[in-house]
Amino acid sequence: MQYKNAKEVLPPSLLEEMQKYIQGDLIYIPKVKKRAAWGEVNGSRALIAERNEKIFQLYNQGKSMDELEREFHLSIDSIRKIIYKMRKYNA
């Protein structure tokens, strides 16, 4: 991060407004760039959503939670949560 003199980079009206709040101190102005949510960049979020949809479809086709547990290597509690969550969104 490089130090910049506000006089050189800000319009005079904005500089005057800022001087009402802070004078002679350093201030950090964060970037506007929004941070990506978990799994958006590497595709994990999409893969899990796809897996959950498949679990829900198989359950609706008659597969038991025990069968889904073995097939997807998840606990019964995880399978149950996925099914209940998908039921709520698809209702």
Which sequence spans correspond to the domains of the chain?
6-90
Question: What is the helix (H) or strand (E) element at residue 68, kind and residue range?
Answer: helix 65-72
pLDDT digits (tens, 9 = 90+) for 47-74: 999 999 999 999 999 999 999 999 999 9
Confirm if 54 and 47 have CB atoms less than 8 A apart: no
| pTM assigned to the model | 0.61
pLDDT digits (tens, 9 = 90+) for 68-91: 999 999 999 999 999 999 998 876
Query: How confident is the model at residue 26, as a pLDDT?
Result: 87
For residue 21, which phi and psi values (nearest 5 degrees)? Answer: -105, -35
pLDDT interval class at 46 (50, 70, 90):
very high
